[in-house]
């Protein structure tokens, strides 16, 4: 793991007592960017001048004992499908090349109101769904960083920023965070406001955070919700404004799912060791072999990737069919093909997939009184070699489909490369899951 930047949340006491400043913290980020960005290629554009000005303002507020918020002075990298009033939002698309919005997305507005420092825009796959960008994995430059929040995960992993914004419609927060060896947080669906973010699937699109620490991931997400709420009518992510205290789970449900045969042996061994540590610490691990309700859930999850694709592709009819009509020569072949497929899915097929989604959600809810959460791998192995393919989404998609919260913890390695441990919870019980993840993260960090 290459991440060496000190957690912003852990640095705040030194800002308050004068031992450090937000400006000095930012300069450390910019020094790392200067050294690593030519190889990693995490950013589409940087805004050093405005970042320094914002960090200076935050430094003055700390000296006066009046910081605006828990994230005042925090450098944040923003995925380039999220609108920014002072930086282009190009979405790795020829259609939007050079496009400059005249507003901030809701999340960016909230960050600025809290005094956060917007570093720049990070590389995404085309519209967060198609052609890959140039970003490389900081742990091994021959490997993908994952996608679609490619640049956000790579920037955090390389120590360029303590936290970055990402989005997930299938696996686009958790997979790159796992591949790059950092923390990822995908909140409950709609718990963070997605206003000003390019749409893919209203049922699945979720804003979240990628960070070098669990505290930075939680605090940043929670502050966004405090300022702009969730995506209406959701009231927004609830819970303490600081990372919830570690809460030892009594029982966790182990979900292998149909993706388990794809797991490489080193990763399976690392996962088994982590389960052993949990059991040794007194956590009961239930699975499909020991619990009929979990077995029923595993059965419902069979074929879940196809269910998710049907819903997501149907829901992207607009604006992608319009793009295909107006700009057929500016879409990648992959994006054009998916746009055409959206028109081929019938309403009946969509409704069948939607009913399957609801059945899975109900089965998960039925387990609330039996388990404190769920545990699985975040990915079947380390990041694949090559940049054309951002990796398999099989271990992330089911908890996106169900709209439930999940964290990936960078506590597993296979062949010297990071692999994430995924901890999952119940819909709108994000704070409880954060307490569970905090306890597990602390245990496995040793």
Predicted confidence (pLDDT) per residue in 360-399, tens digit: 999 999 999 999 999 999 999 999 999 999 999 999 999 9
Rounded Cα–Cα distance for residues 62 and 18 (Å): 8
**Secondary structure class of 276 (helix, strand, coil):** helix
Model confidence pLDDT, tens digit, residues 262-309? 999 999 999 999 999 999 999 999 999 999 999 999 999 999 999 999
Residue 64, exposed/middle/buried by CB under 10 A (0-12, 13-18, 19+)?
exposed
Residue 341 appears among annotated catalytic residues: no
Residue 172 appears among annotated catalytic residues: yes
Confidence label for 446 from pLDDT (cuts 50, 70 and 90): confident
Phi, psi of 163 (to 5 degrees): -150, 150
Rounded Cα–Cα distance for residues 240 and 201 (Å): 29
Residue 250 appears among annotated catalytic residues: no
Model confidence pLDDT, tens digit, residues 233-262? 999 999 999 999 999 999 999 999 999 999
Rounded Cα–Cα distance for residues 424 and 255 (Å): 10
What count of other Cβ atoms lies within 10 Å of the Cβ of residue 49?
8
Model confidence pLDDT, tens digit, residues 212-237? 999 999 999 999 999 999 999 999 99
Of 11, 79, 152, 339, catalytic:
79
Of 69, 132, 148, 152, catalytic:
148
Model confidence pLDDT, tens digit, residues 114-135? 999 999 999 999 999 988 999 9
pLDDT number for residue 130: 87
Confidence label for 4 from pLDDT (cuts 50, 70 and 90): confident
Residue 379, exposed/middle/buried by CB under 10 A (0-12, 13-18, 19+)?
buried
Q: Nearest 10 degrees: CA dihedral of 233, 235, 237, 238?
A: -150
**Which domains, ranges and CATH numbers included, belong to the chain?**
8-228 (3.90.1300.10)
pTM comes to 0.98
Of 69, 150, 152, 172, catalytic:
172
């Amino acid at each position: 793991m290459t991440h060496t930047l000190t957690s912003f949340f852990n640095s705040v006491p030194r800002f308050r007592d004068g031992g450090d400043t937000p400006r000095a913290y930012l300069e450390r980020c910019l020094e790392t960017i200067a050294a690593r960005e030519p190889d990693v290629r995490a950013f589409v554009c940087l805004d050093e001048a405005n970042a320094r000005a914002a960090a200076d303002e935050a430094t003055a507020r700390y000296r006066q004992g009046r910081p605006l918020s828990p994230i005042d002075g925090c450098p944040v990298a923003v995925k380039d499908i999220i609108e920014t009033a002072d930086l282009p939002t190009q979405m790795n698309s020829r259609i939007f090349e050079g496009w400059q919005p005249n507003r901030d997305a809701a999340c960016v507005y909230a960050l600025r109101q809290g005094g956060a420092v917007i570093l720049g825009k990070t590389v995404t796959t085309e519209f967060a769904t198609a052609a890959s960008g140039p970003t490389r994995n900081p742990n091994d430059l021959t490997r993908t960083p994952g996608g679609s929040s490619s640049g956000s995960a790579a920037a955090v992993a390389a120590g360029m920023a303590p936290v970055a914004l990402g989005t997930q419609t299938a696996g686009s927060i958790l997979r790159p965070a796992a591949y790059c060896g950092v923390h990822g947080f995908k909140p409950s669906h709609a718990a963070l406001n997605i206003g000003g973010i390019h749409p893919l699937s209203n049922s699945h699109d979720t804003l979240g955070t990628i960070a070098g620490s669990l505290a930075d991931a939680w605090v940043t997400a929670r502050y966004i919700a405090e300022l702009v709420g969730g995506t209406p009518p959701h009231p927004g992510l609830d819970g303490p404004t600081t990372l919830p205290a570690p809460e030892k789970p009594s029982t966790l449900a182990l979900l292998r799912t149909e993706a388990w045969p794809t797991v490489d042996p080193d990763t399976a061994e690392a996962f088994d060791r982590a389960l052993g540590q949990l059991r040794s610490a007194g956590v009961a691990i239930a699975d499909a072999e020991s619990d009929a309700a979990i077995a029923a859930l595993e059965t419902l999850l069979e074929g879940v990737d196809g269910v998710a694709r049907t819903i997501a592709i149907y829901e992207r009819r607009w604006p992608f069919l319009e793009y295909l009509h107006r700009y057929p020569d500016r879409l990648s072949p992959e994006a054009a093909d998916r746009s055409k497929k959206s028109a081929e899915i019938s309403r009946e097929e969509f409704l069948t997939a939607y009913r399957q989604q609801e059945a899975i959600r109900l089965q998960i809810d039925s387990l609330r009184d039996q388990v404190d959460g769920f545990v699985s791998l975040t990915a079947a192995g380390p990041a694949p070699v090559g940049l054309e393919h951002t990796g398999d989404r099989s271990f992330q998609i089911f908890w996106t489909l169900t709209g439930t919260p999940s964290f990936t913890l960078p506590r597993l390695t296979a062949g010297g490369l990071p692999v994430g441990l995924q901890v999952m919870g119940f819909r709108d019980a994000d704070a409880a899951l954060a307490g569970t993840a905090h306890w597990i993260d602390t245990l496995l960090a040793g």
